[in-house]
Amino acid sequence: MRIVLGVTGGIAAYKAASVLRGLRERGHAVRVVPTEAALRFVGAPTWEALSGEPVSTTVFEGVEDVEHVRIGDEADLVLVAPATADLLARARAGIADDLLTATLLTATCPVVAAPAMHTQMWFNAATVDNVAALRARGWTVIEPASGRLTGADTGPGRLPEPEDIIRAALAATGRSAAPGPSGPGSSAADPPAVPAAAPRAEHTRADGDGPLAGAAVVVSAGGTREPLDPVRFLGNRSSGKQGAALAAAAAAAGADVTLIAANVDSGVLADLPATVAVEHVSTTAELEAACTAHVTSADVIVMAAAVADYRPAAASDHKMKRTGEDLTIALVENPDILRGLVDLRDAGRARTGQLLVGFAAETGSQEQSAESLAQAKLLRKGCDLLVFNDVSGDRAFGRDDNAVVVYRPGADGAEAVARSTGTKAAVSNDVIAAVAAELSR
């Protein structure tokens, strides 16, 4: 795969060298396009030595090859890491005053940005507006990590770790971040969309203890949001409490846990065990990319997040104003993430023996009960377990208690393997016990 790695002028630019090396080790050809400011942190010789390709910042070099158009046009992926607030603002405005911004304007491939900046800059209204606009145009903007920043400050705005950036970037193209061949004689040809599955025995956890010891568990939580404009979105009422409780229960059972949090408040995440890794996403497309990135490594994927079934066909770059007339919004269907994970596993492109757990929050209808709709969903999705909860009458969402039934496919349809009522923590313990029992079957 042909990748353009854009590097902008922030202290985190040194981490981009590790991103570059990681992409090259996976067999990808990488052209580094830094800004002038980036070269004040890491010089051109470093990028040229690591990439094996020339480095330029201006549109006035390589004019005979029309590089300001060719580089973006030929790319399979453009990744900007780090992406400063200035770069995000210029890209949103369509400014093309150097080789990197010109490349962004000509690229028709997926574009991924990994922001890095001070916390106040990340939360500034201008940056929030710019990020929302770029996401609405199809960019994948990775949430920055929280931690030590330049100087003594800490908070959101830290560049994610190189492996996390690589995984999110390759997932945006439908490819895996698994290591590939490198070195002399290796090929830069595209890897398969998802590499061959690895046996579960390869995953070990030395300090795990419990029914899920040694298992890699991914849990999604919260609710996805689909932008209508930089201010408004289509979403749902999920708080993420149940998903966070499931992640904590899985960790207590000895698993190596990753929580993919879709718009979950920090207060909900505050009590998570320190061993739980948290990845932040917003839209359904971002959640799909994050989940797909784990298909070759996860023993269990629990899809507890409430996923928007539809998104606006187009999002406005500016806040929509009242016109005095009715407004019609065209919606298009979002991908079915759970069904997609099942299809990958059935095609042999996921981890061997992977267990997929779905959730069904149902209200029922005049024709069918909530429970019968959940049972039908289990068989339609093809997952191994499905956790059903009745959310009619203002139940479940935002509350600290829940009532669920866990189903698995049986000879005569869906059969219940567990029922649980109580706090979401208690319910999670029962669900994880059912997962562990199913995993050991």
Residue among 159, 158, 156, 127 at smallest CA distance from 266? 156
Which one of 124, 130, 236, 263 is the catalytic residue? 236
CA gap 10, 145 in Å, rounded: 15
Is the distance from CB of 62 to CB of 41 less than 8 angstroms?
A: no
Dihedrals φ, ψ of 84, to 5°?
A: -80, 165
Residue among 12, 23, 10, 82 at smallest CA distance from 50? 23
Residues with Cβ within 8 Å of 183's Cβ and at least 6 positions away in sequence, in order, are: none
User: Active-site residue 236, yes or no?
Assistant: yes
CA gap 142, 145 in Å, rounded: 9
CA gap 139, 271 in Å, rounded: 32
Residue among 296, 254, 251 at smallest CA distance from 278? 251
Q: For tokens 């994927």, what's the residue?
A: 301
- Coil, helix or strand at residue 205: coil
Pairing, β 331-333 against β 310-312: antiparallel
Say which amino acid occupies 250.
Answer: A
Q: Which two structure tokens, joined as six digits, stand for 63?
A: 């004019």
N- to C-terminal Cα separation, the chain = 40
Question: CA-CA distances (angstroms) from residue 201 to 204, 355, 435?
Answer: 7, 15, 18
CA gap 388, 379 in Å, rounded: 13
Q: Is the dihedral of CA 120, 121, 126, 128 positive or negative?
A: negative
Catalytic positions are 236
